[in-house]
Amino acid sequence: MPGIPREVIEHHLRIYPDAKPVQKPRKQSVERQNFIREEVCKLLHAGFIEEVHHPEWLANPVVVPKANGKLRMCINYTSLNKACPRDPYPLPRIDQIMDSTSGCDLVFFRCLLWFPPDTDV
């Protein structure tokens, strides 16, 4: 995301060592291929995504119809999700927590940061 330092938003996934990194390419109609191309160009132009030249993990774009009849592009991360072990401490339902704060004048967030022993802070 433009304007946010990489140290704040970048993270690494734990992946099983024997996991296969590439999905099989999904066939799309010409109309959907053009839609995907347009959406990717918009995201590139906005600086929200960037091209990578070392694709270890590839995920297929999927075009999904919205309720109003328009199309939406999503990314299929199924194989990546299967390659990552389950987190024993999952995050709580963030959307429910945010909804419960509606009408409040002030909201405080408590953040616990942990740095590995070999990190200079």
Contact 80, 59 (CB under 8 A): yes
Region 95-101: mean pLDDT is 77
**pLDDT per position as a tens digit, 33-83:** 999 999 999 999 998 888 877 667 778 889 999 999 999 999 888 888 888
User: With a threshold of 0.85, does the pTM exceed it?
Assistant: no
Per-residue pLDDT, 110:
63
Query: What integer best gives the mean pLDDT of the chain?
Result: 80
Q: Which residues contact 9 (CB under 8 A, 6 or more apart)?
A: 1
Classified as helix, coil or strand, 107 is: coil
Contact 91, 11 (CB under 8 A): no
Per-residue pLDDT, 113:
57
DSSP state of 10: -
- Indicate whether 109 pLDDT > 70: no
- Domains observed in the chain: 6-85 (3.10.10.10)
DSSP state of 43: H
Region 97-116: mean pLDDT is 69
